Amino acid sequence: MSCLPTVKPLVDDTIRALSQVEFRDDPIAGRKYARATSIVSSAYKRHGKIIERALFERLRQNNRLSVWTDATFAVSPADNTFSTSTFEDCLMSELPYGATKRTLQIDLVVYDEVSNGLRAYEVKRGNGNFDSGKIRSVMRDLLCTHMLLKTYGKNKGHPVQNAEAKIIFYYGVRSIPKPYSLVREELDEHFQ
């Protein structure tokens, strides 16, 4: 089963929008190269959204999975525990969901009706490495999501038995190591 019919309009709209955008001239590159560079840079950003949408639509086709996104996943003040906890302690922790200190956008939330497992994913193109600051930020968000995810799912009415957060680096350049990340070649097995 293909998800192309549901993703193609997004691709077409993205291409149409890129062809109509006015870009500023760059004093170094000049008009021609500045426009080409700006279009390519904008296409990179939009391509990530297309990958995210394609994964979302394909996972929705699996009858045992409930799939959604959450633009306002609430991270509680309890996330301040990072300063006194080890990475492993955080992975073993379960915090109550509800209080909000800040919010995160969760690209994919997948509940498996058979295993009662809940997983949250951030989707990245994964075609280049992150710098150390970005890695710290992404890992912090990953751990926050992981610690809150089980109670988040229960608050949504799912009998969650296990929960985990991961990052998908679609094109294979992992800025976050296994087992906290996935690449394209691992997705079929991961989602069964």
Q: What is the value of pTM for the model shown?
A: 0.80
Query: What value does the mean pLDDT take over residues 173-181?
Result: 91
What's the pLDDT band for 116 if we cut at 50, 70, 90?
very high
pLDDT per residue as tens digits for the range 53-92: 889 999 999 999 999 999 999 998 766 555 445 667 667 6
Structure tokens at 60: 């929705």
Res 175: pLDDT: 92
Distances (CA, A) of 155 to 59, 105, 132, 159, 169: 22, 18, 34, 9, 29
pLDDT per residue as tens digits for the range 24-53: 777 776 777 777 777 777 776 777 888 898
On average, the pLDDT of the chain sits at 84
Segments of the chain assigned E as strands = 65-75, 102-112, 117-124, 162-169, 181-183
Structure tokens at 25: 């001239």
Distances (CA, A) of 69 to 122, 123, 163: 10, 11, 16
CB of 174 closer than 8 Å to CB of 183: yes
Report d(CA 44, CA 175) in Å as an integer: 17
Res 81: pLDDT: 57
Backbone conformation region of residue 35, classed left if phi is above 0, alpha if psi is from -120 to 50, else beta: alpha
Domain boundaries, the chain: 1-61, 64-192
User: Cα 177–115–191 angle (5° rounding)?
Assistant: 45
Report d(CA 142, CA 122) in Å as an integer: 8
